[in-house]
Amino acid sequence: MSHTPGPWLLGGALDSPGMIPVPIFDSAKSERCIAQVYPWLGADGNPDTQHNANARLIAAAPDLLELAEQYASECGECNGSGRDITLLDNGEYGPDIDCEACADIRAVIAQATQP
């Protein structure tokens, strides 16, 4: 794992005036800012609340990754192996292919963890 372990914490008010960036901190080292989300003005001149959702999503990323890894490891179709373990009528296992039931979550995990 090369990312900062979670949990991550929002370090500022999401509705702060003056378009101040919202910091996201490493919870183990609360003085260490690992990211900032900059708000912007919407077409109506008011602060766009989309940055609130972005900040919350970024802060939740380590927890989401952990849950995805847990889900993949508990896949009932492949027993967490990531490979199809279909037993054929002749008593042999089917071709060595990715498990269809958890391939999507494994692709997301790879996207988040591979350089």
Give per-residue pLDDT as tens, 6-18.
889 887 666 655 5
Tell me: pLDDT of 2 over 70.
Answer: yes
Bridge partners of residue 25, in order along the sequence: 9, 33
Inter-helix orientation angle 50-73/103-113, to 10° = 120
Instruction: Please report, to the nearest 10 degrees, the dihedral formed by the alpha carbons of residues 45, 49, 51, 52 taken in order.
Output: 150
Which residues on adjacent β-strands are paired with residue 31?
A: none
For residues 75-80, average pLDDT = 91
Whether 19 has a pLDDT exceeding 70, the answer reads no
